[in-house]
């Protein structure tokens, strides 16, 4: 909303300007479609989710879903990105300000991922499918070029850089890469209890950073 002085000059009132109706509808539709895809994936698994079913559940047309997401793969990508971005917020809260001891802080962050992921319905569905041999949504969590993987790596790389400001940037990048990849690997195929895995992985990564 805007106010006007007598001179005709527009003065902002500080209130947000509402989206045009078409933009507002599109945003609302996108949320409804993603919510519908989320619920269907948690109920039956992504392999059983069709764009027609998503459109019907969201009460929108199938062409509208196509126009917004481009394809079923595009919808899956958007769905996992939304869920994982929310999840990464919890990881960031564990790292910042975080425990004073760097090892304890990294261990806590890895432990958070290994335990909290199982409490997130969609991430749990993706992991359960992967353990049964279906990787239909898994690439969105693990692909090198994927923004989800990049976001997790960037978060950890920034944190490690602050904890080790004198360390070589390339070694920081490698340490972040190893941490993210190994954490995802243990998330999908756990071999030990989360606390044990988190401690060992944190020790291995920091040994890499602290070695001559």
Instruction: State pLDDT tens for residues 139-159.
Output: 555 543 455 678 889 999 999
Q: What is the mean pLDDT of residues 4-16?
A: 51
- Flag whether pLDDT at 210 surpasses 80: yes
Average pLDDT, the chain: 84
HEC string of the chain equals: CEEECCCCCEEECCCCCCCCHHHHHHHHHHHHHHHHHHHHHHHHCHHHCCHHHHHHHHCCCHHHHHHHHCCHHHHHHHHHHHHHHHHHHHHHHHHCCCCCCHHHHHHHHHHHHHHHHHHCHHHHHHHHHHHCCCCCCCHHHHCCCCHHHHHHHHHHHHHHHHHCCCCCHHHHHHHHHHHHHHHHHHHHCCCCCHHHHHHHHHHHHHHHHHCC
- Flag whether pLDDT at 4 surpasses 70: no
pLDDT digits (tens, 9 = 90+) for 162-206: 999 999 999 999 999 999 989 988 887 888 999 999 999 999 999
Helix axes 194-210, 102-116, angle to 10 degrees: 140
- Flag whether pLDDT at 106 surpasses 90: yes
Q: What is the mean pLDDT of residues 59-66?
A: 95
pLDDT at 205: 96
pLDDT at 134: 57
> Which is higher by pLDDT, 37 or 142?
37
Determine what percent of the chain is predicted with pLDDT higher than 90: 53
- Flag whether pLDDT at 5 surpasses 80: no
Confidence (pTM): 0.72
């Amino acid at each position: 909303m805007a106010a006007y002085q007598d001179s005709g000059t527009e003065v902002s009132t500080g209130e947000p300007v509402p989206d045009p109706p078409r933009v507002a509808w599109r945003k609302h539709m996108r949320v409804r479609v993603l919510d519908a895809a989320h619920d269907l994936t948690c109920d039956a698994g992504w392999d059983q989710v069709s764009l027609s079913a998503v459109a019907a559940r969201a009460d929108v047309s199938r062409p509208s879903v196509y126009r917004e997401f481009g394809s079923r793969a595009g919808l899956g990508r958007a769905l996992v990105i939304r869920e994982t971005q929310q999840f990464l917020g919890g990881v960031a809260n564990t790292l910042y300000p975080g425990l004073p001891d760097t090892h304890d802080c990294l261990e806590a962050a890895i432990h958070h991922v290994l335990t909290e992921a199982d409490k997130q319905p969609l991430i749990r569905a993706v992991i359960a499918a992967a353990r049964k041999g279906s990787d239909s949504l898994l690439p969105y969590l693990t692909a090198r070029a994927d923004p989800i993987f990049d976001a997790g790596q960037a978060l950890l790389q920034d944190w490690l850089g602050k904890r080790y400001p004198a360390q070589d940037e390339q070694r920081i990048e490698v340490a972040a890469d190893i941490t993210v990849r190994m954490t995802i690997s243990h998330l999908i195929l756990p071999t030990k209890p989360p606390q044990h895995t988190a401690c060992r992985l944190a020790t291995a990564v920091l040994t890499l950073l602290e070695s001559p």
